Amino acid sequence: MENADKSPFSFSMREEQIRQVFAQMEQRGERLVAIYHSHPAAPAYPSPYDIEHACYPETAYLVLSLAGQQPVLGCFRIHGKQVTPLRCILY
């Protein structure tokens, strides 16, 4: 997905692009299992903005922090205002 904000500080997607991607996924028999984004200078935890704009409660939200010397990956479910950590298994 392309960042409609064209910003290093925020991310949004155009509704038309979202519809196109979901239509392609449906044609292929795919389903949305995770949404990934990075926090260049913040922890690997959903920000208040992330929580406010989370629209897929059945989906894992992966947040990659680049704030430290080593990248840190957090994995969460966001339902309403509730953030629940998930165990991530990386292959």
DSSP characters over 36-49: EEEESSS-SS--HH
- Where do the H-state alpha helices sit in 1-91? 15-28, 48-52
Q: Can you read off the two tokens belonging to residue 14?
A: 């155009």
**What are phi and psi for residue 48, nearest 5 degrees?**
-55, -40
Q: What letter would DSSP give residue 85?
A: E
Amino acid occupying residue 59 = T
Give per-residue pLDDT as tens, 62-90. 999 999 999 999 999 999 999 999 987 76
Give per-residue pLDDT as tens, 35-58. 999 999 999 999 999 999 999 999
- Coil, strand or helix at 54: coil
CATH of domain 32-85: 3.40.140.10
Domain-wise residue ranges, the chain: 1-31, 32-85
